[in-house]
Amino acid sequence: MRLDQFETQRSVGPHGFVKFMGVLIDVEDENIIMTPGAPDQQGFFFNEANLNLDRLIAKAARTSYTHGTTRVRDDAKLIDYLMRHHHTSPFEMVEFKFLIRAPLFVVQQFLRHRTASVNQESARYSMLEDLEFLPEPKDWRKPGLFNKQGSQYLNEEEVEVIGEPAYAVAEEALRHSYAAYQTLLDLGVSRELARIVLPTATYTKFVWKIDLHNLLRFLKLRLDDTAQEEIRHYAMAILEMIRPFVPHTIESWENHVLNACTLSADELTVVREIIKHHYAVQSDSDVQLVSDLSAAGLSASRIREFKAKLRLIEPS
């Protein structure tokens, strides 16, 4: 893959972006050799059609294999096994680095994930640009009906009575705040103090480096429907940027983590009893259950795992 053919930057919101800066490369892997691009082009060339970092995850996992190992899975099957059994350390062997521009209230949510290395633009040394996050009238939201910390979009009537006045109030406040910031600087106030009048809508930039395991944990939380929409847009951009590098990992993660759910002990009891009751009416409950699970695409080993999860059989 050639990085100048890869979408190295994605726009997010009115002024934000996520820019791909690099990945951790295993220099011992002879299949990954990076050379500078042509002088008139940005990026790098790789000596294969696709830079697939899934191979590095599988390679890290196979360090656990010693003499006497009877079976070595191919990369995709091994990654799926690791993901479904929560063997997370091999995914830490791949790291991604991004340059992100986001409003301060979104940056604060990034920083809550304390597993990344962060280097943020300093407003002590640099003068911040006149860039603020300001939703259009139709994009303002009211408090959520069920999720008290969340929100929901306005209907057409509410856009007029809430969205348009809200836009006008916020636009004026943002304009005055940056004007005050500029005035303080003109008066000779230091940058580190002049910034106190800037709102959390102000954009800033930061470098964000994180290993794949913790990145997937970030994405699980920030792609959730209950996450704030503004950071969800950044999470979606990041997901699509890393997908070409770790396609098997993302496919497995979407199946076993992102689109999966966890049941509590009492919920598990209810589900188990429903299944036992349903298949008890069949002439041979186990055969029918296996047949239905096979029809759903589960392999024999996955069927055993499923039945063990529901305590229909003893875990092996």
CA–CA separation, 140 and 229 (whole Å): 11
**pLDDT for res 295:** 94
**Which of the residues 2, 62, 222, 272 is marked catalytic?**
222
Helix and strand counts by DSSP (H, E) for the chain: 12, 9
pLDDT mean over 37-61: 64
pLDDT in tens, 246-301: 999 999 999 999 999 999 999 999 998 898 888 865 545 578 888 999 999 999 98
User: Over the chain, what is the mean pLDDT?
Assistant: 87
Asked if the model's pLDDT at residue 243 lies above 70, the reply is: yes
Active site residue 84: no
pLDDT mean over 56-77: 74
The pTM of this model reads 0.87
Helices 285-295 and 300-309: crossing angle, nearest 10°? 120
Of 20-24, 37-41, 101-105, 123-127, the one with minimum mean pLDDT is 37-41
* Spatial contact of 59 and 231, defined as CB atoms under 8 Å apart: no
pLDDT mean over 137-157: 90
pLDDT in tens, 300-313: 989 999 988 888 88
Instruction: Find out if CATH 3.30.1360.170 is the number for domain 3-115+204-258.
Output: yes
Measured distance between the N- and C-terminal CA atoms of the chain, rounded to whole angstroms: 42
